[in-house]
Chain A
Amino acid sequence: MSKHETIIGLEVHAQLKTSSKMFCGCANNFGDPPNTNICPVCTGQPGTLPVINKKAIELAIKTALATNCKINERSVFARKNYFYPDLPKDFQISQFDLPLAEHGFLEIEVDGNKKRIGITRIHLEEDAGKLVHKGADRIMGSDYSLADYNRAATPLMEIVSEPDIRTPEEAKAYMEKLAHLLEYIGVCDAKMEEGSLRCDANISIRPVGQKEFGTKTEIKNMNSFKAVMKALKAEELRHREVIDEGGTIIQETRFYSEETEKTKGMRTKEFSHDYRYFPEPDLVPIAPTKEWIEEIRKTVGELPDKKENRFIKDYGISETDAFFIVSNSKMATFLEETTKSYNNPKAIANWLVGEITACLKESKMTFDNIALSPNQLAEMLALIDNGVLSRKVAKEIVLPELLKGSNSIQGIIKEKGLTQISDEGELVSIAQDIIRNNPKQVEQFKSGKEAVLMFFVGQVMKATKGRANPDAVQKILKEALKK
């Protein structure tokens, strides 16, 4: 194997969470029937004029602030000219020499090592429409295609990294970090599998110590974080093999295939571009005022890294749990909301990471549309502390009901008769029954095998359907067994 190092840069496209499109009032909605969100502007009818969506600019500035970018005092939209059936105007409105923001960075961590990845630029553009290929399950071999322009001209933000990434693992870490951040600050859904976040990668290798970059290839069609890593691993290996065999890498665009786990070159002719960028004459420049930027800064809020540290320091939550909770912004908010009416963040965190996550997984639900409210969780935990509910009953009966959408804990308790048995007399008589029916185990206990006590505790819990307090049961059993 040659002594080469790998150079990777990523271009990420993020769909912005606006209500309307980038330059017209059509709805920015995924999944609507074909061509129901189109108008003369986004389909490029003669004489129509685009108008910039203010929210899209705000979301891009928000991203720039969260990624330590410098926001340009003046930025300009430009036309990128090319023909493709998903592009009704025959040009894409994008940004070229004056993007919205530049010179930022993101900090990633791989195997415990922190590293800063530079962000070259963030710019805004419009997305293309969607093509449905007929006669084959992909573009190759299809007879014809159908164009749906609902997605055409929806706002798209491009985030370009510096060629600072050195391994496919770092590329994956960068993508995950960026996705998490975008989802967190509420600018993008950031789901690679659904296409709301997309990634193209530039990769090249060079002998260690050489300053100049080697010839790069561009990899497309990576539809998950894992695919980003796998595709780059495959391409890295291909570069090494070609060079080791004395060959040369050709600069080209290559597509990654999930099935073969390899990249494949496209015939270069189809992708030889001459975009003839020029300033978009129908849109005047964007020059964000200081006041506007400061207003947007207020909406950025606490970033994930900072929140995670606070959870660890102030709440006493373990690093693993804090990372898990913060990786879902809804869960992090849920935790903070719950602490307002139940002052034991650690206990809340345990339930979120443990029982609640397990229960959601079991019933194939996600935290994103959880039916349980922070107040309900607080109420349930307080009822456990007060001895009204046993942990077991809360976990196995009350929680699943709440996650299914029941809205009254008291109602569930009443309906199912779940109140913890607090009458000691009742527990004593149950314990005595069990002792009477299990003479063999009583013998073992008396001969010194104290572990058998747990057998009796289990039997009592079973007899009470979990409605007994295990600590109280142990105490009662110990006394009863001494007799």
Chain B
Amino acid sequence: MEINIEHVAHLARLGLSDEEKKTFSKQLGNILQYAENLNKLDISDISPTSHAILMENVMRDDKVEKCQDIESIMKNGPEIEENMFKVPRIME
């Protein structure tokens, strides 16, 4: 099973060396090959599984609870300006 490793790496914004590309191509190919086995099964009567647990309707009431430590979140930004996260130019 072939995989377009460069496309996948770009989607995940990962820069891979040639060596890594080779390794991961092979590993991901094997995983796909394994999953390919499922195609041999007749699953026409089975609806897709979205979750492994049989729970439904887990919800919370619409109540405001203010976060007590926004400062720690802001610290995660490498640069803050006007209390906003500074990000590099988006469009070249």
Residues of A within 8 A of B (CB): 18-20, 25-27, 33-40, 43, 45, 51-57, 74, 76, 81, 83-85, 98, 131-133, 139-140, 142-149, 270, 274, 276, 279, 281, 283-288
Contact = CB atoms under 8 A, between A and B. Distances in A.
B62 A54 contact: yes
B84 A139 contact: no
Which 10 residue pairs across A and B have the least CB separation, nearest first? Answer: A25-B65, A39-B67, A55-B62, A146-B84, A279-B50, A54-B59, A85-B87, A147-B85, A284-B55, A287-B56
A19 B55 contact: no
A19 B61 CA distance: 10
Nearest to A85: B87
Contact of A38 (B7, B55, B67, B87): B67
5 contacts: A51-B59, A85-B85, A144-B86, A145-B90, A149-B85
A68 to B, nearest CB: 24
A55 B11 CA distance: 34
A35 B87 contact: no
A18 B62 contact: yes
A146 B90 CA distance: 11
B57 A27 contact: no
A413 B51 CA distance: 70
B74 interface: yes
A26 B66 contact: yes
A53 B84 contact: no
B45 interface: no
B47 to A, nearest CB: 9
Nearest to A146: B84
Nearest to A133: B90
Interface string B23-50: 0000000000000000000000000001
Contacts of B60: 25, 51-54
Contacts of A25: 60, 63-67
A283 B53 CA distance: 11
Contacts of A84: 90
A418 B91 CA distance: 66
Interface in B60-85: 60-67, 70, 73-74, 76, 81-85
Contacts of A26: 64-67
B5 to A, nearest CB: 14
A52 B64 contact: no
B51 A279 contact: yes
Contacts of A43: 73, 76
Interface of B: 7, 11, 13, 50-51, 53, 55-67, 70, 73-74, 76, 81-91
A40 B62 contact: no
A288 to B, nearest CB: 8
B58 A140 contact: no
Q: Which of A19, A20, A52, A142 gathers the greatest number of chain B CB atoms within 10 Å?
A: A20
Contacts of B89: 142-145
A45 B74 CA distance: 11
Given A143-B89, A274-B11, A281-B51, 10 more contacts: A26-B65, A26-B66, A35-B84, A38-B67, A38-B70, A45-B73, A142-B90, A146-B81, A146-B84, A284-B57
A170 to B, nearest CB: 34
B50 A146 contact: no
Contacts of A133: 90
A144 B81 CA distance: 11
Nearest to A16: B62
A124 B70 CA distance: 27
Contact of B56 (A35, A38, A81, A284): A284
A148 B11 contact: no
Contacts of A287: 56-57
B83 to A, nearest CB: 5
A37 B83 CA distance: 12
A26 B65 CA distance: 6
Given A27-B64, A52-B60, A146-B82, A284 B91 contact: no
Q: Which of B56, B70, B85 gathers the greatest number of chain A CB atoms within 10 Å?
A: B85
Contacts of B87: 85, 131, 144-147
A379 B10 CA distance: 70
Contacts of B66: 25-27, 37
B90 A139 contact: yes
A21 B89 CA distance: 28
A140 B91 CA distance: 6
A55 B64 CA distance: 12
Contacts of B11: 81, 274, 276
A333 to B, nearest CB: 23
A52 B59 CA distance: 5
Nearest to B55: A284
A36 B63 CA distance: 16
Contacts of B51: 76, 279, 281, 284-285
Given A51-B60, A284-B51, A287-B56, A34 B73 contact: no
